[in-house]
Chain A
Amino acid sequence: MDVLERIQKQVDSAPIVLYMKGTPQFPQCGFSSTAAKTLASTGVEFSYVNIFDDQEVMKNLPAFADWPTFPQIYFNSELMGGGDIIVEMAEMGTLKGEMESAVEKFNA
C-alpha cells in the first residue's frame, strides 16, 4: 500500500486521530504534549499515531494535508488543525462538543 493510502486509512480508522511526536504518555515535543493533554482533558477517547514510529508517514503527512507542522488532529478524516487550534477550541469551550459529535458521526 502506498503511504498516502496508509495515512488515509489511519485517519478513516477512528473518529479522532492525533498525529504526534511520541505518545500521550511519553510525548517528545511540547506542542504534541499540549495537544494530547488538551484532547485528553475532555474525557472523550481519541486515537494517536506516533510519527517517530513511521518515518514514511512523518515525511508525507505534511503533503497529505497541506499542513507543514506537527501535531495534526483529524476529526472524521478531516484536518482540524495543529495544537494551537485545539487549545483555542478548548478555551472557547467548543472542543468537547465537537469531539463528541465526531464520535457520534463515526458510529452512526
Chain B
Amino acid sequence: MNNMQQHLTEQLTTALSPIHLEVINESNNHSGTATESHFKLVVVSDYFSDFKLIDRHRFINQLFKEELTHIHALAMHTYTSGEWQMKNGAPTSPQCAGGSKS
C-alpha cells in the first residue's frame, strides 16, 4: 500500500468507523506519470444514515480538503450498511481522457 492510500484509509477509518472500506489507487488507469493521482473510495458507514448523497460527499471532500489539492480525481461511493446489502459493489470509474485538472 502506498503512502496516500494508507493515509486516506486511516483518515476515513478514524472519521467514519466504516463497516466496509475500499481505498483503490486507480492511477494506473490514467494518463500522466503521477502514481498517486486517482483514487476510488467505497465507504460503508452508518454515520451516513442521516445524510443525503451530496452531504456524504461534502463530508469526505472536507475531510480531504488539503489532499484534494494534490489528487487529480477522487471517486466516491458512499453507502449505509442497509444500502450496501442491497448492492453488489460499487460502479467502475471511467478511463481518464487526458484533460488536465487546471
Contacts and interface: CB of A to CB of B under 8 A. Distances in A.
A108 B41 CA distance: 39
Nearest to B91: A87
A28 B30 CA distance: 12
Nearest to B74: A69
A31 interface: yes
Contact of A52 (B74, B77, B98, B99): B99
Interface residues of B, number: 21
Interface residues of A, number: 28
Contacts of B74: 69
Contacts of A29: 96-97, 99
Given A32-B99, A84-B91, A87-B91, 19 more contacts: A21-B99, A22-B99, A27-B97, A28-B98, A29-B97, A30-B93, A30-B96, A31-B93, A33-B94, A66-B58, A68-B65, A69-B61, A69-B74, A82-B57, A84-B75, A85-B54, A88-B53, A89-B53, A91-B91
Interface of B: 53-54, 57-58, 61, 65, 68, 73-77, 91, 93-99, 102
